[in-house]
Structure 1
Amino acid sequence: MVRGYMSNTELETAVHAFGSRCSNISRVYSIGKSVNHFPLWVIEISDKPRQRESEPAFKFIGNVHGDEPVGREVLMHLANCLCDNYLKDSLATLIIENMHLHILPIMNPDGFALRWRGNANNIDLNRDFPDQFFPVNNDIDYRQPETRAIMNWVKQEHFTASASLHGGALVANYPWDGTRDTSKHYYGCPDDKTFQHMASVYSRSHYNMSLSKEFEGGITNGAFWYPIYGGMQDWNYIHGGCFELTLEISDTKWPKADELPIIWEHNRMSMLNLLASLIKIARTGLLSKLRFQWPIPSYIGH
C-alpha cells in the first residue's frame, strides 16, 4: 500500500531538504512527537520566517487519519510549488509576502506506518479534542500526544485560519461538526457565512468538487453531513479563534500512487486561492475583529 508514497523517514528527509533549499522563505520546526516518538515536523513559509508580523497565519495539516495519506503528498507539492514560484508568479508571491503559512504534512505518522486510521494507541485523533457538548472529554491529561501537540501549537501561534486534509469523499466541510442533541441536521456556527465563503472558494477552484451530486456546491456543514464529537475543526474555532475547514480531497482514502499528481493538480488552485482569499478577508479587518470574541458560548448555533 505504501508503494509510491513517501515513508515517514523519507518525508522527514524531504521536509529538511525543503528547509535547506528554500531557507530564504522558510523554517522547519517540530511541535512535538507521536506516541512512537516520531517528530511532528512543520514547514513555515513566509518572506520573514521566524518573525511575528501583523499578517494572517494559516496552517495546513495532513494525514490526521493514518489510512488517509493523500494530504502528506499534496502538502509537500504545495510547499515546493510556492518555493519554486516565489517572485516568478504573482499568486505565490502574494501568499509568501502577506501571510505566514505553516504546513504539518503528517499529524499521525504512527497510524500511517501501521496502515490504520488511529494512532499507535488506535485512537482516532479527530475524535480526541475537547468537545463543546461533552465536557467529560475535556481533561488534557487524557489527550493523545499528537492532540496535545496541536493544542499547544494553536495556542502558541494564534492561527487565523486552517484546514486539515482527508480522503474518502470530495467536499469542503465547515463547523459545527456536532449538535447538542446528537441528531443529524444543519447546525451553523456564529460565522456561518464566512465559513460558507471559505469552503466555496475551495470547492469552486477545484477541478470537480463543486459539481458534486451529493453535496450542493461541493460544500457541507459537518453536522448536516454526519455529527462527530471531539473533532479538531470545532476545537480550533472555539478555543483558538481559528477558522478551520476539513477538506476531503480524494474519493478514495488511499489512492494508487500514480493518481497523486492528478489529485495535486485538481487541488492546487483550490489551496492557493483559499490562502489568497484569507489575505483579502484579513485586509478587511473582519477576521481580526472576530478574534476578540473568544471563547464563544457553546449554546450559539441554529
Structure 2
Amino acid sequence: MDLSFVFFLFLLSFFLIPSSTIARGGDRIPIPSGFLDKSSELLARHLFEDKQRKISEALTDGYMSNTELEKSVTEFGQRCANISRIYSIGKSVNGSPLLVIEISDKPGKEEAEPAFKFIGNVHGDEPVGRELLMLLANWLCSNYMKDSLATMIVKNVHLHILPTMNPDGFALRRRGNANNVDLNRDFPDRFYPVNDVEDMRQPETRAIMNWVKNQQFAASASLHGGALVANYPWDGSQDSRKKYVACPDDKAFRYMASIYSQSHYNMSSSTEFAGGITNGAQWYPIYGGMQDWNYIHGGCLELTLEISDDKWPRANELPILFEYNRKSMLNLVASLVKSGIHGRTFSSDTYHPLPASVTINGIDYKTNSSRRFGYYYRFLAPSESYEVMVTMPGYESKTTRILLEDEAMSLDFILDPEVSDAGRQVDDCYCNCDGQGKLVVGILGRAHLDMFLAIFVVLLFLCFLLKRKAVIRFLKRRHFPGHKRAIEV
C-alpha cells in the first residue's frame, strides 16, 4: 500500500477520535500522561451535551436575560454619561452584540494612562461574572467623587468592562457558545497549532483578538465560576503534565494574583490553594486559553479569576458575592496606579513621543509605548531591583537601574538619535528635483554655506533650550497621586 495513503488514513483517524475538553472551574478531567499520545484530548473544542449540568428555570430567576443586560448597559451609559461610553466589539454567533462599558473621566479619548479590562461570562453556564461586573460599574458611577478609590480609578485608569463574552451560551444554559465551542479553548496557543486555523475560530474569539489588537491593555482579568482561586500563566505545559510552568513575569503575576486573593473575603484562606492563588499548569493544563494568548500576543498581563464555588448560584446570593469580590476587583484595577513603572519616551532632538520598546533585564518580555503619547506601563512586583532598557530603531538605547518599592514609579526616557557617518558629510547632500541632482554647496558657495550653518546651529540651540525647559516643567507637573516624582533618563 502507498505510504502517503497510509499516513493520510492515520491523520484522519487521529482527528476523528471523539474527546472532551478539559474545563476550568471544577469540571476536572484527568490529564493525559503524554501530550503526543493523547493529543486528541486537547484538540476538541466542542463539548458533549450529556456531560453538562442541567440548569433549571428556578436557578435562572433573578438573573438578567441578554435583552435585559443590553438594556442595563444602555441605561448605564445614559445615567453615567460623564464618565462612560458604550461600544461594541462585535457580535456572537447568533447576533447578540458584545457590548463594552468604558469608565474614565475622559472616556473614548486616548491618554497617557493605563487601560484595564474585565471580561465576564466566558462560559455560558458561569453567569456570576456578568452580574458582578454590572454591579461594579454601577458602584463606580455612584461613588465617583465620593469614595477615594473609585475616584482614583476613574481619573487615572481607562477601565473597560465586557459583561458577557458568551451571550449565546448563557441563553442556552450551557458552557459553549451557539456552536458548542468552549471559547476558553479557542485562542491560538504556543503548544496547540490547530487553533491557528483562522476559519475554525469563533466570532466571539475574533472579537476579543481584534479588540486587544486595537486597544493597548496593560492588564486584565476574566471572571469564571466553579472554584475560588486566582489563576495565572502559564496555563499549559509542553507534555500536558500537571506541573508548575512559570512564565517570564512569574513574580509579577504571583503578586498580581495575591492582590485579588488577599483583598477577597475568604479566597486567601483556601485549604486547596496556598494563599488562594495557583499557576494554571500546576492546577491542570489547558490549551487555547485566553489568558496565555493575552500575555503572548496582546502585551497584557491577564488573570483567570474563579470567583464562586457554585457556577450558577441562586440570584439572591449575588449581592453577597459582589461584596466578597468588590474590594478585590477595585484593588486589582487600582494596582495599575499604585504599582509598577510607567512613563513616556521622547526624542531628544524633537521632543516628540516615540513608540519605543521597554524591556527588563532578565525578563524575556517586551512592552511597547504608545505611538501618540510615547506612554508605557509595566506591571512589576515591588521590593525588587530592576534594570530597565528602552530601545527604538534609529535611536541609541538607554538603560537605568531602579529599586521599585511599595509604590509606583514614574520613569521617562529621552533617547538620542543615532548619527551615521553619512549624516555628518554636508558635501554629500543633494536636492533631487525631477531626477536632476544639484549640489547644495555649489549653489550657496562655501563661505555663504558656513555662515548659514552657524546661524542655523545657534537658532537650533535656542529652540532646544526652550523645548527642554517646557518639557521638564511638564514632566515635573505630571504624576499620579501617591507616585514618586518623575525620573528622567
The residue correspondences of 1:17-36 to structure 2 (distance < 5 A) are: 17-36=75-94
Matched-pair contact (CA < 8 Å) for 2:358–2:367: no
Q: 1:186 to 1:112 in 2, by over 3 A?
A: same
- What does residue 7 of structure 2 align with? none
- What does residue 49 of structure 1 align with? 107
Structure-2 separation of matches of 1:77 and 1:226:
31
SS class of match (1:88): coil
Q: What RMSD, in angstroms, separates the aligned Cα atoms of the two structures?
A: 1.6
Matched-pair contact (CA < 8 Å) for 1:206–1:266: yes
Counterpart pick for 1:250 among 294, 305, 308? 308
Matched-pair contact (CA < 8 Å) for 1:239–1:294: no
Letter of the 2:231 counterpart: N
Does residue 293 of the first structure (1) align with residue 366 of the second (2)? yes
Does residue 90 of the first structure (1) align with residue 148 of the second (2)? yes
Structure-1 separation of matches of 2:359 and 2:284:
27
Counterpart pick for 2:266 among 193, 201, 208? 208
Structure-2 separation of matches of 1:103 and 1:289:
27
SS class of match (2:102): strand
- What does residue 121 of structure 1 align with? 179
CA displacement 1:178-214 (0-9 Å, x = unmatched): 0111111000100000000010000000000000000
SS class of match (1:293): strand
Structure-1 separation of matches of 2:340 and 2:110:
16
Matched-pair contact (CA < 8 Å) for 1:56–1:282: no
Q: 1:38 to 1:65 in 2, by over 3 A?
A: same
Q: 1:290 to 1:67 in 2, by over 3 A?
A: farther
- What does residue 162 of structure 2 align with? 104
Matched-pair contact (CA < 8 Å) for 2:177–2:183: yes
- What does residue 298 of structure 1 align with? none
- What does residue 293 of structure 2 align with? 235
Quote the offset at 1:280 in angstroms: 1.9
Structure (1/2) with the larger helix percentage: 1
Quote the offset at 1:154 in angstroms: 0.4
- What does residue 262 of structure 1 align with? 320
Structure-2 separation of matches of 1:9 and 1:280:
37
After the TM superposition, which parts of structure 1 deviate over 6 Å for at least 4 consecutive aligned residues?
none
TM-score by length of 1: 0.95
Letter of the 1:63 counterpart: N
Percent identical:
74
Counterpart pick for 1:61 among 102, 105, 119? 119
Matched-pair contact (CA < 8 Å) for 1:238–1:294: no
- What does residue 133 of structure 2 align with? 75
- Specify which structure has the bigger relative contact order, considering alpha-carbon pairs within 8 angstroms and separated by 6 or more residues: 1
CA displacement 1:260-292 (0-9 Å, x = unmatched): 00000000000011111122224456xx83597
Number of equivalences: 294
Matched-pair contact (CA < 8 Å) for 1:201–1:273: yes
Structure-2 separation of matches of 1:277 and 1:252:
28
Q: 1:14 to 1:290 in 2, by over 3 A?
A: farther
Matched-pair contact (CA < 8 Å) for 1:165–1:246: yes
- What does residue 62 of structure 2 align with? 4
TM-score by length of 2: 0.59
- Segments of structure 1 that go 5 or more residues without pairing to the other structure are 296-302
Structure-2 separation of matches of 1:107 and 1:59:
12
Structure-1 separation of matches of 2:288 and 2:73:
29
